[in-house]
């Protein structure tokens, strides 16, 4: 039985005075790869903010059972690093280690080693001394993910991590996240519109719509009529002979 890290207990979340999620309960367990899917405006990003302690539930509570917030690495659509931030790539990545610093100010050799390893994972060591503001959008996303990984000790929370990225970068990032989860046992929680990737990479699905919620394993989700309809349509469009990538998802040869 996997250890529960975060327990979401009967929460209601509001946005601009309107309830977007009501009476939602689920657990995030050690080793999960939880994919949160659903229509626009259903409260997915609001839920992430509540899990991160940035938004208070109107009702219910969120308990951190086996994890501390400083052990969570975060990559949101609101990138914490401005594209005009006057810092080098290595400094941006190293800043993710500040939560590990005893005094919150100085990064030790071990943290610098962690940052370098994550730059290697994301393939950005060659631009480590480049100004962050001079990078392309895809490079900035790689650097932001390296920064999130440097902060993550037990869990990685991602909000649409491959939005606007080209197909090759998308493939690489999905493969990396899959490897972190399966091989390195990093718990992953991600909001995504990429249903194909969620079904191929995820271990659990949380589907939030305005009128219904599903939470369970990928196999359980695939038994639902809505999932069967998606898979059937996907097969008709793409064929069954398209190979799967190392990360478990189908490489389409074009950005989603």
Per residue, the 3-state secondary structure of 109-171, as one string, reads HHHHHHHHHHHHHCCCHHHCCCEHHHCCHHHHHHHHHHHHHHHCCCEEEEECCCCCCCHHHHH
Q: What is the pLDDT along the chain (256 residues), one digit of tens a residue?
A: 789 999 999 999 998 888 999 999 999 999 999 999 998 889 999 999 999 999 999 999 999 998 999 899 999 876 656 666 789 999 999 999 887 665 556 678 888 899 999 999 999 999 999 999 999 888 888 999 999 999 999 999 999 998 878 888 889 899 999 999 999 999 999 999 999 999 999 999 999 987 889 999 999 999 998 888 877 776 566 654 433 333 443 333 332 2
Q: Give the model's pLDDT for residue 83.
A: 67
Which phi and psi angles does 15 have, rounded to 5°? -135, 120
pTM of the model: 0.86
Q: Give the model's pLDDT for residue 15.
A: 85
- Dihedral of CA 246/249/253/256: which sign? negative
19: its two tokens: 């309830």
Q: Give the model's pLDDT for residue 35.
A: 97
Residue 58 and residue 138: Cα distance in Å, rounded? 37
Q: Give the model's pLDDT for residue 66.
A: 86
């Amino acid at each position: 039985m996997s250890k529960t890290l975060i327990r979401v207990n009967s929460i209601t979340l509001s946005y601009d005075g309107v309830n977007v999620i009501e009476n939602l309960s689920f657990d995030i367990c050690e080793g999960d790869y939880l994919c949160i899917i659903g229509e626009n405006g259903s409260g997915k990003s609001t839920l992430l903010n509540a899990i991160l302690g940035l938004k208070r539930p109107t009702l219910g509570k969120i308990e951190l059972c086996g994890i501390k917030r400083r052990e969570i690495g975060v990559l949101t659509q609101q990138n914490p690093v401005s594209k005009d931030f006057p810092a080098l790539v290595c400094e941006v990545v190293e800043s993710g280690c500040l939560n590990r610093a005893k005094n919150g100010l100085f990064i030790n050799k071990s943290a610098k080693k962690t940052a370098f390893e994550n730059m290697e994972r994301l393939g950005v060591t060659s631009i480590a001394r480049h100004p962050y503001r001079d990078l392309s959008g895809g490079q900035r996303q790689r650097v932001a993910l390296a920064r999130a990984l440097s902060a993550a000790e037990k869990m990685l929370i991602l909000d649409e991590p491959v939005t606007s990225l080209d197909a090759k970068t998308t493939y690489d990032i999905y493969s990396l996240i899959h490897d972190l989860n399966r091989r390195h046992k990093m718990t992953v929680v991600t909001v995504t519109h990429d249903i194909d990737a969620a079904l191929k990479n995820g271990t659990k699905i949380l589907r939030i719509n305005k009128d219904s919620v599903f939470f369970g394993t990928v196999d359980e989700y695939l038994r639902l009529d809505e999932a069967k309809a998606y898979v059937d349509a996907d097969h008709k469009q793409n064929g069954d002979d398209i190979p799967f990538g190392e990360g478990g998802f189908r490489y389409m040869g074009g950005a989603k």
